[in-house]
Structure 1
Amino acid sequence: MSYVVIRTGGKQYRVSKGDLLDVEKLDVEEGKVITLDDVLLFVDDKKIKIGTPTLKTKVEAKVVSQFRGEKLRVGRFRHRKRHHKIMGHRQYLTKLEITGIEHV
Protein backbone atom coordinates (compact mmCIF):
# COMPACT_ATOMS: atom_id res chain seq x y z
CA MET A 1 0.00 0.00 0.00
CA SER A 2 1.45 3.34 -1.01
CA TYR A 3 0.99 6.63 0.76
CA VAL A 4 2.40 10.15 0.66
CA VAL A 5 2.91 12.99 3.11
CA ILE A 6 1.62 16.30 1.75
CA ARG A 7 1.79 19.83 3.11
CA THR A 8 -1.13 22.23 2.82
CA GLY A 9 -2.29 25.08 5.03
CA GLY A 10 0.91 24.92 7.09
CA LYS A 11 0.21 21.36 8.24
CA GLN A 12 1.38 17.93 7.08
CA TYR A 13 -0.98 15.05 6.30
CA ARG A 14 -0.37 11.35 5.57
CA VAL A 15 -2.76 10.33 2.78
CA SER A 16 -3.37 7.47 0.39
CA LYS A 17 -5.82 6.98 -2.48
CA GLY A 18 -9.47 7.12 -1.38
CA ASP A 19 -8.87 9.00 1.89
CA LEU A 20 -11.13 11.83 3.09
CA LEU A 21 -9.24 14.76 4.57
CA ASP A 22 -10.22 18.01 6.35
CA VAL A 23 -7.74 20.82 5.59
CA GLU A 24 -7.61 24.58 6.08
CA LYS A 25 -9.94 26.48 3.73
CA LEU A 26 -9.01 26.43 0.05
CA ASP A 27 -10.64 28.90 -2.36
CA VAL A 28 -11.99 26.23 -4.72
CA GLU A 29 -15.59 25.43 -5.61
CA GLU A 30 -17.19 22.15 -4.57
CA GLY A 31 -16.83 19.33 -7.10
CA LYS A 32 -13.62 20.68 -8.68
CA VAL A 33 -10.45 18.59 -8.87
CA ILE A 34 -7.25 20.19 -7.57
CA THR A 35 -3.61 19.14 -7.72
CA LEU A 36 -1.50 19.18 -4.58
CA ASP A 37 2.18 19.27 -5.54
CA ASP A 38 3.81 19.98 -2.17
CA VAL A 39 4.69 16.32 -1.50
CA LEU A 40 7.31 15.66 1.20
CA LEU A 41 7.44 11.83 1.28
CA PHE A 42 6.43 8.96 -1.02
CA VAL A 43 6.24 5.39 0.30
CA ASP A 44 5.49 2.44 -1.98
CA ASP A 45 5.63 -1.28 -1.20
CA LYS A 46 9.38 -1.55 -1.76
CA LYS A 47 10.73 2.00 -2.03
CA ILE A 48 10.77 5.18 0.02
CA LYS A 49 11.48 8.59 -1.50
CA ILE A 50 12.19 11.56 0.77
CA GLY A 51 11.99 15.06 -0.68
CA THR A 52 14.68 17.69 -0.29
CA PRO A 53 12.44 19.59 0.45
CA THR A 54 9.75 18.34 -2.00
CA LEU A 55 9.27 15.62 -4.62
CA LYS A 56 7.97 15.77 -8.19
CA THR A 57 4.93 13.75 -7.16
CA LYS A 58 1.43 15.08 -7.70
CA VAL A 59 -1.66 14.26 -5.67
CA GLU A 60 -5.10 14.81 -7.19
CA ALA A 61 -7.98 15.57 -4.85
CA LYS A 62 -11.66 16.33 -5.35
CA VAL A 63 -13.25 19.07 -3.24
CA VAL A 64 -16.20 17.41 -1.48
CA SER A 65 -17.45 20.32 0.64
CA GLN A 66 -16.66 23.64 2.31
CA PHE A 67 -17.73 23.83 5.95
CA ARG A 68 -16.93 25.23 9.38
CA GLY A 69 -15.41 23.13 12.13
CA GLU A 70 -16.66 22.66 15.66
CA LYS A 71 -16.66 25.63 18.01
CA LEU A 72 -13.58 26.05 20.18
CA ARG A 73 -14.02 27.78 23.52
CA VAL A 74 -11.32 30.23 24.59
CA GLY A 75 -11.47 31.73 28.07
CA ARG A 76 -9.78 34.61 29.81
CA PHE A 77 -9.87 34.99 33.59
CA ARG A 78 -8.42 37.72 35.78
CA HIS A 79 -7.89 36.51 39.29
CA ARG A 80 -8.72 38.81 42.22
CA LYS A 81 -10.91 40.94 39.91
CA ARG A 82 -13.83 38.50 39.43
CA HIS A 83 -13.70 39.09 35.69
CA HIS A 84 -13.89 36.37 33.07
CA LYS A 85 -14.64 36.31 29.37
CA ILE A 86 -15.48 33.31 27.17
CA MET A 87 -15.01 33.58 23.41
CA GLY A 88 -15.66 31.08 20.64
CA HIS A 89 -14.07 30.37 17.28
CA ARG A 90 -15.09 28.21 14.30
CA GLN A 91 -12.47 27.57 11.63
CA TYR A 92 -13.35 27.38 7.92
CA LEU A 93 -12.36 23.96 6.52
CA THR A 94 -12.38 22.12 3.19
CA LYS A 95 -13.09 18.39 2.88
CA LEU A 96 -10.97 16.67 0.20
CA GLU A 97 -11.16 13.18 -1.28
CA ILE A 98 -7.83 11.89 -2.59
CA THR A 99 -8.47 10.50 -6.08
CA GLY A 100 -4.98 9.71 -7.31
CA ILE A 101 -1.23 9.77 -6.65
CA GLU A 102 1.10 10.25 -9.62
CA HIS A 103 4.77 9.54 -8.93
CA VAL A 104 7.32 10.61 -11.54
Structure 2
Amino acid sequence: RTYAQLWYFHIPFFILNVVIYEWFRQLAFDDPGYIEPTRTDMLRMVEDMKNGASLDRYCPTCWIHKPYRSKHCKHCNRCVIKMDHHCPFTGNCVGANNLRLFYIAHGGYVIAEL
Protein backbone atom coordinates (compact mmCIF):
# COMPACT_ATOMS: atom_id res chain seq x y z
CA ARG A 1 0.00 0.00 0.00
CA THR A 2 1.08 3.51 -0.65
CA TYR A 3 1.24 6.29 1.88
CA ALA A 4 -1.81 7.99 0.35
CA GLN A 5 -3.89 4.83 0.77
CA LEU A 6 -3.20 4.76 4.51
CA TRP A 7 -4.93 8.10 5.20
CA TYR A 8 -7.17 6.55 7.87
CA PHE A 9 -4.16 6.16 10.18
CA HIS A 10 -3.83 9.94 10.28
CA ILE A 11 -7.28 10.57 11.78
CA PRO A 12 -6.73 8.89 15.19
CA PHE A 13 -3.24 10.38 15.39
CA PHE A 14 -4.63 13.86 14.70
CA ILE A 15 -7.40 13.43 17.29
CA LEU A 16 -4.91 12.20 19.90
CA ASN A 17 -2.68 15.21 19.25
CA VAL A 18 -5.59 17.62 19.69
CA VAL A 19 -6.51 15.93 22.98
CA ILE A 20 -2.90 16.01 24.20
CA TYR A 21 -2.67 19.70 23.28
CA GLU A 22 -5.79 20.38 25.39
CA TRP A 23 -4.31 18.43 28.32
CA PHE A 24 -1.11 20.46 28.03
CA ARG A 25 -3.13 23.69 27.99
CA GLN A 26 -5.00 22.63 31.12
CA LEU A 27 -1.77 21.69 32.89
CA ALA A 28 -0.20 25.02 31.96
CA PHE A 29 -3.08 27.37 32.80
CA ASP A 30 -5.43 25.73 35.32
CA ASP A 31 -5.12 26.09 39.08
CA PRO A 32 -3.01 23.24 40.53
CA GLY A 33 -4.39 23.83 44.02
CA TYR A 34 -3.03 27.19 45.08
CA ILE A 35 -3.75 28.17 48.67
CA GLU A 36 -5.12 31.67 48.92
CA PRO A 37 -3.99 33.62 51.98
CA THR A 38 -6.75 34.79 54.28
CA ARG A 39 -6.77 37.48 56.90
CA THR A 40 -7.56 34.85 59.54
CA ASP A 41 -4.39 32.90 58.70
CA MET A 42 -2.29 36.05 58.88
CA LEU A 43 -3.75 37.08 62.24
CA ARG A 44 -3.33 33.56 63.65
CA MET A 45 0.32 33.53 62.55
CA VAL A 46 0.95 36.88 64.23
CA GLU A 47 -0.70 35.61 67.44
CA ASP A 48 1.39 32.44 67.40
CA MET A 49 4.53 34.53 66.87
CA LYS A 50 3.61 36.65 69.91
CA ASN A 51 2.97 33.57 72.04
CA GLY A 52 6.20 31.87 70.97
CA ALA A 53 4.40 28.90 69.39
CA SER A 54 6.01 26.73 66.74
CA LEU A 55 5.72 28.18 63.26
CA ASP A 56 6.59 24.96 61.41
CA ARG A 57 3.17 24.73 59.77
CA TYR A 58 3.25 28.31 58.50
CA CYS A 59 4.65 29.62 55.25
CA PRO A 60 6.64 32.78 56.01
CA THR A 61 6.38 33.97 52.40
CA CYS A 62 2.61 33.57 51.92
CA TRP A 63 1.65 34.11 55.57
CA ILE A 64 -0.67 31.12 55.63
CA HIS A 65 -1.17 28.01 57.72
CA LYS A 66 0.03 25.23 55.43
CA PRO A 67 -2.19 22.14 55.21
CA TYR A 68 -0.63 18.67 55.32
CA ARG A 69 1.62 17.90 52.29
CA SER A 70 1.45 21.45 50.96
CA LYS A 71 4.62 23.22 49.92
CA HIS A 72 5.72 26.65 48.79
CA CYS A 73 6.84 26.81 45.15
CA LYS A 74 9.76 29.16 44.67
CA HIS A 75 9.01 29.46 40.94
CA CYS A 76 5.33 30.43 41.30
CA ASN A 77 5.87 32.12 44.69
CA ARG A 78 2.71 30.47 46.05
CA CYS A 79 1.80 27.54 48.28
CA VAL A 80 0.22 24.51 46.59
CA ILE A 81 -1.92 21.77 48.15
CA LYS A 82 -0.26 18.33 47.83
CA MET A 83 2.47 19.76 45.62
CA ASP A 84 4.34 17.15 43.58
CA HIS A 85 6.73 19.40 41.64
CA HIS A 86 7.00 22.47 39.45
CA CYS A 87 6.90 21.35 35.83
CA PRO A 88 9.33 23.31 33.62
CA PHE A 89 7.51 22.25 30.45
CA THR A 90 4.16 23.74 31.48
CA GLY A 91 5.57 26.48 33.70
CA ASN A 92 3.06 25.51 36.37
CA CYS A 93 3.00 23.42 39.52
CA VAL A 94 1.62 19.90 39.67
CA GLY A 95 -0.57 19.63 42.74
CA ALA A 96 -3.83 18.29 44.13
CA ASN A 97 -6.04 19.68 41.35
CA ASN A 98 -4.02 18.50 38.35
CA LEU A 99 -1.92 15.51 39.43
CA ARG A 100 -4.25 12.94 37.85
CA LEU A 101 -4.33 14.92 34.59
CA PHE A 102 -0.53 15.06 34.66
CA TYR A 103 -0.33 11.24 34.74
CA ILE A 104 -3.02 10.88 32.06
CA ALA A 105 -1.21 13.35 29.80
CA HIS A 106 2.05 11.44 30.18
CA GLY A 107 0.24 8.23 29.26
CA GLY A 108 -1.12 10.00 26.18
CA TYR A 109 2.37 11.13 25.23
CA VAL A 110 3.61 7.54 25.43
CA ILE A 111 0.73 6.27 23.28
CA ALA A 112 1.29 9.04 20.73
CA GLU A 113 4.95 8.07 20.44
CA LEU A 114 4.06 4.49 19.53
TM-score normalised by L of structure 2: 0.18
Higher strand share: 1
Greater radius of gyration (CA):
2
Please report the TM-score for the alignment, with normalisation by the length of structure 1: 0.19
Q: Which has the higher contact order (CA 8 A, sep 6+)?
A: 1
Select the structure that is richer in helix: 2
